[in-house]
A = this chain, B = another copy of it.
């Protein structure tokens, strides 16, 4: 008898009918002879509505209280799912994050899982129950409720799968799996039957919305196979696992894109030690995440420093950077909010320099100008004009022959 951890997202449990459908989906896997632990997100817009309630009371709600408030969303959906399963004649029980033993640090709204004490989950499994766990939440040593922040329920699911030594973690969502490119943009995009952790991590970090990189990382760390599929159809999804990364395929796997990119260039920076720290330390203190950083080769000890931030952070970042630029003697600060990035990803690109050339020439043939380039071992990313991102994805998907059969 295999133990499977499943996770269903908020759109899969948005109303009573969908909850009953998810219950049927779970019951099928149970009837096949599996032990089942199911992690569930809050129904549809519940979390947004709870946040609105809090902000109606005050502009700056306390983070400890906000976490307790938000955690009720997953409690509601988990009980409703257990109610649906019981009404179908299946033994089921809902557990809060606390009851499921999800111990976290006390960083409210973005807590990290410290460990999982699966005692209660194991007891209920032994009693023959389907265990429904409220995702996205945990409890501190002092028994205070926390939420895990972005990607929280995916992370709960993978972490529980690891702690319970499950055979697999299945992530059910509103897409059918991982594609060679966003299928809403590229109708010819192909669903991948499998993908390696590292490739998935790059895809998730560089724009694919299928899964949060945090949960993929956890899966990689503990080598837990993750299966991504749609809860609305029965078509086979994508297996994310370690095996795939081992073979070096002579092929790019997928194209990812992200429209949420803004660029700041500090022009004419004196090139001396400590300058980068002087600029990036205050940005970190202001809570601004920096993505790509590029520094041009220094000419006569004067250099240009360019970095990207999320569009929503651009104004705040400029306010931090401008006085610093002045104080270190830089010539000026330039901002550009209308950018996007496009990435080609695949382990097959390791040690195969031809891929970069193919990417740049495909973009150039389409008349798309490249502002910045960054690479990892298995990824090449170009930052380009926002208006050309979709053309770029289409061109690259063709150039790398991703629409062809695997």
Across-interface contacts of A83 in B (CB, < 8 A):
54, 57-58, 61-62, 65-66, 69
Q: Is the CB of A84 within 8 A of B69?
A: no
Task: Name the CB-closest residue of B to A58.
Answer: B87
Q: Is the CB of A57 within 8 A of B16?
A: yes
Across-interface contacts of A79 in B (CB, < 8 A):
54, 65-66, 68-69
Nearest Cβ on chain B to A388's Cβ, whole angstroms: 45
Q: Is the CB of B65 within 8 A of A69?
A: no
Identify which of A59, A61, A80 gathers the most chain B CB atoms within 10 Å of its CB.
A80
Across-interface contacts of A99 in B (CB, < 8 A):
143
Task: Name the CB-closest residue of B to A52.
Answer: B16
Docked CA distance A50–B72 (Å):
12
Q: Is A296 an interface residue, CB under 8 A from the partner?
A: no
Across-interface contacts of A78 in B (CB, < 8 A):
68
Q: Is A86 an interface residue, CB under 8 A from the partner?
A: yes
What does the 1/0 interface line of A82-109 toward B look like (CB < 8 Å)? 1110110000011010010000000000
Across-interface contacts of A64 in B (CB, < 8 A):
93
Q: List 8 A-B contacts (CB under 8 A).
A: A58-B87, A62-B82, A65-B79, A65-B82, A65-B86, A65-B93, A68-B78, A72-B75
**The 4 A-B residue pairs with the shortest CB-CB distance in the complex, in nearest-first order:** A58-B87, A16-B56, A72-B72, A69-B79
Apart from the given pairs A54-B83, A69-B83, 20 other A-B contacts in the complex at a CB distance below 8 Å: A15-B56, A16-B53, A16-B57, A54-B80, A57-B80, A57-B83, A57-B84, A58-B83, A58-B86, A58-B87, A59-B87, A62-B86, A64-B93, A65-B79, A68-B78, A68-B94, A68-B96, A69-B75, A72-B75, A75-B75
